[in-house]
Amino acid sequence: GAVVSQHPSRVICKSGTSVKIECRSLDFQATTMFWYRQFPKQSLMLMATSNEGSKATYEQGVEKDKFLINHASLTLSTLTVTSAHPEDSSFYICSARDPRDNPGGLQETQYFGPGTRLLVL
């Protein structure tokens, strides 16, 4: 199956700094990638949908100026947490659709990365 990687796997930073997380589709080109956040004992919550070459679509309540998403190529999307604060500490996970799975139709399967654990001190 399709493989999605994330880097870094975990990061610790000081409050006020910015952190960039990379999401890569390794063996396919992903026109659409998704960014999720998971707090302890909570559901994965969709933060934004990232489309290659266009602006990301953010879910209600997610600050687009704080969580910058760049999908500059068909294999790479980045999430930058700007001016991170302790409440941003969470597990961030991305996913991507492989257009080969269902060409021309609603693409159903999302392939998930291993996630990035962010701790802001």
Partner 1 sequence: KQEVTQIPAALSVPEGENLVLNCSFTDSAIYNLQWFRQDPGKGLTSLLLIQSSQREQTSGRLNASLDKSSGRSTLYIAASQPGDSATYLCAAVIQGGSEKLVFGKGTKLTVNP
Residues that bind partner 1 (CB under 8 A): 4, 6, 9, 32, 34, 41-46, 49, 93, 95, 97, 106-115
What's the min distance (Å) between Cβ of 42 and partner 1? Answer: 6
Tokens linked to 21? 């997380």
Closest to partner 1 by CB, 19 vs 37, is 37
- The strand ranges marked E within the chain are 4-7, 10-13, 19-25, 32-38, 44-51, 57-58, 67-73, 76-81, 90-97, 110-112, 116-120
What is the C-alpha to C-alpha distance for residues 72 and 67, in angstroms, rounded to an integer? 16
What is the C-alpha to C-alpha distance for residues 68 and 40, in angstroms, rounded to an integer? 23
Closest to partner 1 by CB, 57 vs 80, is 57
Closest to partner 1 by CB, 28 vs 111, is 111
What's the min distance (Å) between Cβ of 80 and partner 1? Answer: 20
What's the min distance (Å) between Cβ of 83 and partner 1? Answer: 27
